[in-house]
Chains A and B, each alone.
Chain A
Amino acid sequence: MSLRRFHLLFIALSVVLAAFFAAWAGGQYRLAHEMRFAVTSLVCVASGAALAVYGARFQRKTKNL
C-alpha cells in the first residue's frame, strides 16, 4: 500500500473517530448539561465534515502522484 492510500485510510478512520467523539460529547451533554460538551460535539461534527472534504480533495488532487 502506498503512502497516498494509507493516508486516505487514516483520514477515513479520523472521520469515524470525529463522529464517535461527537456522539460521546453529546452523551455527556445530556448527562451533565454542561455547555462545553455541546460545543465539543458541534466542533467534532464540523471537524469530521472538514476531514471528509479534505480526503475527497486529496484523493482527486493526488491521483497522478
Chain B
Amino acid sequence: MNIPYTVETRPDTGLANGKLGIWLFLASEVMLFGALFSSYIILRMGSVEWPHGELNVWLGAANTVILISSSVTMVMAWASLKLNDHGKHRLYLILTFVLAAFFLVNKYFEYSGHLTRGEGPWHSTFLAIYFTLTGLHGLHIVGGMIVMGYFIGPGAKMWKTKPEQFTNRIEYTGLYWHFVDLVWIFLFPVLYLL
C-alpha cells in the first residue's frame, strides 16, 4: 500500500509527510535539550563557585571544526542527489559518516582522560551536567551514524526504484544531522569557554 504525500507536499500542511514528521521530532528534541540547558543555567546560577578550565578547549574546538565540516558534506550529499549524481552523494555521505566517527574518537579520548583522573560525573556538579549533556549529544551522533550507515548500505538501493523519495529521506537525515550539529554549536561555548 502506498502512503500518500510521501513525495509531494500536502495541500493542507504545505509539507510532505516526512518533513512534517522530522520537524515534529526535532521540536521534541528542542524540548529535551532545552530542559537540560535550563538545568545547567539553574545549577550554575545557584552555585557559589563554578569551575573554569576543567575541559580541554582544543579537543572541543577540534570537534567543532569536525561537526561544521560534516554539516557541509551532509548538505553536499543531498545537493548531489538533487543534481542526479548518486556517486557523489555516496562519497559525501561516507565522508559525513567518517567525520562523525572522528568526533566520537575525539570524545572517547576526552572522556577517558577525565575518567582516568577520577573526574567522573560523580566528581562535581559541573562534570555531572557536562557528562549528561555531551553523553546525550554523543548518543544522537551514534543515532545519526546508524541512519547514514543504512543509507550508505542496504537503504541505497531505493535510489534506483524511488529516487525522489530517497532524496527526501536524505534531506530529513540532513535536517536531523544539522540539529545535532547545532546543539554542539551551543554546547561548545557554554561548557568549554564560559
Tell me the A residues contacting B by CB distance below 8 Å: 1-4, 6-7, 10-11, 13-14, 17, 20-21, 24, 40, 51, 54, 58, 62, 65
Contact = CB atoms under 8 A, between A and B. Distances in A.
A17 B67 CA distance: 13
Interface residues of B, number: 20
Nearest to A64: B82
B129 interface: no
B178 A17 contact: no
Interface string B1-44: 00000000000000000000001000000000000000000000
B102 interface: no
Contacts of A2: 171
B82 A13 contact: no
B188 A3 contact: no
B78 A21 contact: no
Contact of B174 (A3, A13, A17, A62): A3
A64 B40 CA distance: 42
A7 B75 contact: yes
Interface in B174-194: 174-175, 178, 181-182, 185, 188-189, 193
A4 B75 contact: yes
Given A3-B78, A17-B64, A24-B193, A10 B71 contact: yes
A14 B185 contact: yes
A63 B100 CA distance: 28
Contacts of A40: 61
B193 A13 contact: no
Contacts of A10: 71, 178, 181-182, 185
Contacts of A17: 64, 185, 188-189
B193 A3 contact: no
Contacts of A20: 189, 193
A5 B58 CA distance: 30
Interface in B64-89: 64, 68, 71-72, 75, 78-79, 82
Contacts of A65: 79, 82
24 contacts: A3-B78, A3-B174, A3-B178, A4-B75, A6-B175, A7-B75, A7-B174, A10-B71, A10-B178, A14-B68, A17-B64, A17-B185, A17-B189, A20-B193, A21-B61, A21-B189, A21-B193, A24-B189, A24-B193, A54-B72, A58-B75, A62-B79, A65-B79, A65-B82
